[in-house]
Amino acid sequence: MKVLVIGKGGREHALCWRLHQSPSVWGLYCTGDNPGIAKIAEPCRVSSSDFDGLAAFAAREKIDLTVVGPEDPLAAGVVDHFKARGLTILGPSKAAAQLEASKSFAKSVMRAAGVPTAAAESFTDITEALDYVRSRPYRVVVKADGLALGKGVTVCQDLGQAEAAIVEALERKRFGAAGARILIEERLEGEELSFFALCNGVEAVPLGFVQDHKAVFDGDQGPNTGGMGAYSPLPHYDDAFAERVMTEVIRPTLHEMARRDIPFSGILFAGLMVTGTRLNVLEYNVRFGDPECESLMMRFDGDLGATLGAVAEGRVRDAAVRLSPQSAVAVVLASGGYPGEYRTGLPIGGLEQIDGDEPSALKTRWAIKRTRVKVFHAGTTLADGALVTNGGRVLVVTARAESVQQAVAAAYEAADLIRFDGLHLRRDIAYRVLGTPTNPINPG
Ligand SMILES: Nc1ncnc2c1ncn2[C@@H]1O[C@H](COP(=O)(O)OP(=O)(O)O)[C@@H](O)[C@H]1O
Ligand SMILES: [Mg+2]
């Protein structure tokens, strides 16, 4: 089959990489053309917001399946556009993408479906919102309702912070239209994890758990980013727990969407908070996370093209998801200053030692330990033939090995070969399993 991937970052490079290896895929196109993607996919030089152009490209090139990486085209209705032209695409309709694009919509679905989630109320009126938080006996989280580039949520320490967050959104319009409505939610404590399922209508297959690391510095310090690293699977969350999430979260949500006549298809990503034996949904996303996707693709052992095609065509039972029990870890190499201002155009060195054809002692050692290392390109480009930085998140170094310890060690060994000015990475990816140098976890 011929597959088109919409998107341009590390997530899409990982999808392309796996699709490129799929026996069923013989033609691969991507709207992104960073040097990593360009090595394996033909370019589709159409903007990911030009749906007519994308659909015309897919029809002309006889694309059998289109896979959408980011949320924006989904929320804007790219799937409806393709389906109206009889083209096969994996992802939710515009109406179903509201599960991510409107937090109050997602909350109403969770409530109707009986999915466990924190108490919340939505507001457009500032006086009502302020009255509400002042009458709450607990700490709250203030969330812009719409898509706000991951910056729309304030986890508040006290009432003053909550009041300020409400004023920022409803009066100062900090998030524009995305924050014209807010959700005020009870603040939960616990461990955060992400769960992924491939869905079509009321059918779904699990892809399992991933844990990401959003804060820019070690120990979850500093501002939140798009994600600084991820690993999968999570040793403490087994198949029985995954089945619990399927039963308590994914299937009831799909049934409620179908009941509303807006059946969901595509990737359902549930952000979860686990507190002791309690499980709550923090949010839904309607696509893969980045860098969660990189770690999942590293573990994906089947024919990704056949799997995603089966789901898109409504044959979820044929999806044949084969995820390795081995561990995968993804470490993001970011530009200094990210998520604030950063420079671009800085030369990147060392990648050829990992990705090149030359044999090396490190590669031999990885091979002996049956460790795989792959570097995905997120924000890179070529300047006069040389690889340079071109974004906040530059490269995603991903490793797969027998244990999470070995995968982490290999990922950092590889990351330490790569150089560019101002390179920043977190040193504690998977610390919840491994501990940190200053705060080790006793494996017993
Ligand atoms: N009810 C809550 N209690 C505690 N922390 C929360 C709660 N809701 C969200 N958070 C924190 O805020 C982060 C962002 O919230 P989320 O709902 O995932 O929105 P988005 O990813 O769209 O910014 C979460 O990853 C979590 O760390
Ligand atoms: Mg989130």
pTM: 0.96
Q: What is the DSSP letter of 50?
A: -
> Residue 101's CB: how many other CB atoms inside 10 A?
24
C-alpha distances (whole Å) from 342 to each of 219, 346, 381 are 22, 11, 16
CA-based nearest residue to 299, from 407, 400, 198: 400
Chain segment 32-51, per-residue pLDDT in tens: 999 999 999 999 999 999 99
pLDDT at 441 over 70: no
The share of the chain scoring above pLDDT 90, in percent, equals 91
Q: Which ligand ends up closest to the CA of 187?
A: 1
pLDDT at 21 over 90: yes
Chain segment 407-437, per-residue pLDDT in tens: 999 999 999 999 999 999 999 999 989 886 5
Give the residue, by CA position, lying nearest to ligand 1 atom 20.
150
Q: Which ligand ends up closest to the CA of 193?
A: 1
CB 175 within 8 A of CB 184: no
Mean pLDDT in residue range 379-407? 97
CB 183 within 8 A of CB 146: no
CA-based nearest residue to 105, from 117, 115, 96: 96
* Nearest atom within ligand 1 for CA of residue 147: 22
Give the residue, by CA position, lying nearest to ligand 1 atom 9.
282
Sheet holding 327-334, edge to edge: 278-285, 265-275, 191-200, 203-212, 229-232, 327-334, 393-401, 372-377
Kindly list the structural domains of the chain, giving each domain's residue range(s) and its CATH number in brackets, ordered by start. 2-90 (3.40.50.20), 119-186 (3.30.1490.20), 190-318 (3.30.470.20), 327-440 (3.90.600.10)
Distance 37 CA to ligand 1 centre (A): 31
* Nearest atom within ligand 1 for CA of residue 187: 3
Q: What is the pLDDT of residue 436?
A: 66
Mean pLDDT in residue range 205-229? 95
- In angstroms and rounded to an integer, the radius of gyration of the C-alpha atoms of the chain is 21
The share of the chain scoring above pLDDT 70, in percent, equals 98
C-alpha distances (whole Å) from 184 to each of 36, 105, 117, 126, 363 are 41, 13, 13, 12, 50
CB 122 within 8 A of CB 144: no
CA-based nearest residue to 199, from 317, 63, 303: 317
Distance 274 CA to ligand 2 centre (A): 15
CB 398 within 8 A of CB 330: yes
Q: What is the pLDDT of residue 357?
A: 80
User: Cβ neighbours of residue 54 under 8 Å, at least 6 residues apart?
Assistant: 4, 6, 31, 44, 46, 48, 66, 78, 81, 82
> Helical H runs in 213-356?
239-245, 251-259, 292-299, 304-312, 352-355
Q: What is the pLDDT of residue 266?
A: 98
* Nearest atom within ligand 1 for CA of residue 189: 4
CB 371 within 8 A of CB 406: yes
* Nearest atom within ligand 1 for CA of residue 280: 1
Mean pLDDT in residue range 14-26? 98
Q: Which of 141, 212, 216, 285 gets mutated to test ligand 1 (max ligand atoms within 8 A of its CB)?
A: 141
Q: Which of 283, 287, 292 gets mutated to test ligand 1 (max ligand atoms within 8 A of its CB)?
A: 283
Distance 50 CA to ligand 1 centre (A): 31
Q: What is the pLDDT of residue 361?
A: 84
Element (H, E) at 232: strand 229-232
Distance 341 CA to ligand 1 centre (A): 24
Q: Which ligand ends up closest to the CA of 150?
A: 1
Cα angle vertex 117, ends 115, 121, to 5°?
Answer: 115
Q: What is the pLDDT of residue 438?
A: 60
| Confidence label for 358 from pLDDT (cuts 50, 70 and 90) | confident
* Nearest atom within ligand 1 for CA of residue 103: 17
Tell me the average pLDDT of the chain: 95
Mean pLDDT in residue range 265-280? 96
* Nearest atom within ligand 1 for CA of residue 283: 17
Q: Which ligand ends up closest to the CA of 292?
A: 2
Q: What is the pLDDT of residue 198?
A: 98
| Confidence label for 443 from pLDDT (cuts 50, 70 and 90) | very low
Chain segment 75-115, per-residue pLDDT in tens: 999 999 999 999 999 999 999 999 999 999 999 999 999 99
Give the residue, by CA position, lying nearest to ligand 1 atom 18.
283
CA-based nearest residue to 197, from 365, 104, 311: 311
Q: What is the pLDDT of residue 439?
A: 63
